[in-house]
Amino acid sequence: MTGTANPGRRARLVLHLVCVAVAALIVVPVWFGLLGGFKDNGQLSTNPLGWPDPWVTENYTGILGSGVFWRQLGNSVLIAVATTAVVVGAAAMAAFVFARFAFRGRELLATLFAVGLMFPFAVAILPLFVLLRGMGLLDNPLGVILPQAAFGLPVTIIILRQFFRTIPGEVEEAAVLDGCGPFGFFWRILLPMARPALATVSVLAIVSSWNNFMLPLVVFTDQSWWTLPVGVQAFQGQYADDTARVLAYVVLSMLPALGFYAVAERQLIGGLAGSVKG
């Protein structure tokens, strides 16, 4: 009995140590950036991981008092929310068809969407730029929203399709007997039951849009449409010698996405578990 328990205990200990190491790789850079924003460059060179002494709050307050930061924040929020609405709405309808209807070529079409996961975004940036220029969508938020939604469709459809498959057929039969058509079943019954999966794909879409740097950089030449990732690069170039202020800007740019992820974490894990189970 003891011999059996010891290997299991050792395995759990190793697993916990691995989790702690991975957490440290994530937390330490964030901790360094957060405290670094309250320091000056001298403190960063002599005491990079310690507490600030004295605390330099001007790095954060100066950025928060800048209209440029709030404009970039508003642009990021607008583009992220619009991208999420487009990709989740389109993917939900496509996943419903793939999951609940049988027709010739269904699996082939679903496979084509899955192949989109293997298409690197960087490869498409040049033809995408030419296409957007021809459509007059440069310096237009739609030039970022629509491509982001298109590249987000494959993973969103896969997750929602797997979740929709877990809904018992008896539920749909009961809805039909009550007079629901396909759209009524989708809108009134399926979507409310799929809230965990919808929350999951929404979180993934928002975080992906928030972190997208290359597409806004290519599409927006007008600085008034810059998002936070592009703004961080511009700020770093402007204050290249003031590392502490750059760290403060980076931390403030991350906080909205981190806060949203923390609030939606439970729904994210539940939705992923449901899609994997399906």
pLDDT above 90 as % of the chain: 41
Average the pLDDT over 165-181 and give the result: 84
Q: Residue 4 pLDDT > 80, yes or no?
A: no
pLDDT digits (tens, 9 = 90+) for 197-234: 898 899 889 989 998 999 999 999 999 999 999 999 99
**CB of 215 within 8 A of CB of 125?**
yes
Distance CA 5, CA 12 (A): 11
The per-residue pLDDT for 269 is 61
pLDDT digits (tens, 9 = 90+) for 100-111: 888 888 889 888
pLDDT digits (tens, 9 = 90+) for 17-64: 998 998 888 888 888 888 899 998 888 888 887 888 889 899 999 999
pLDDT digits (tens, 9 = 90+) for 82-92: 999 999 999 99
Of 151 and 177, which is predicted with more confidence? 151
Copy the structure tokens of residue 54.
Answer: 């004295």
Q: Residue 6 pLDDT > 80, yes or no?
A: no
Distance CA 214, CA 251 (A): 20
CA 156 to chain CA centroid, nearest Å: 12
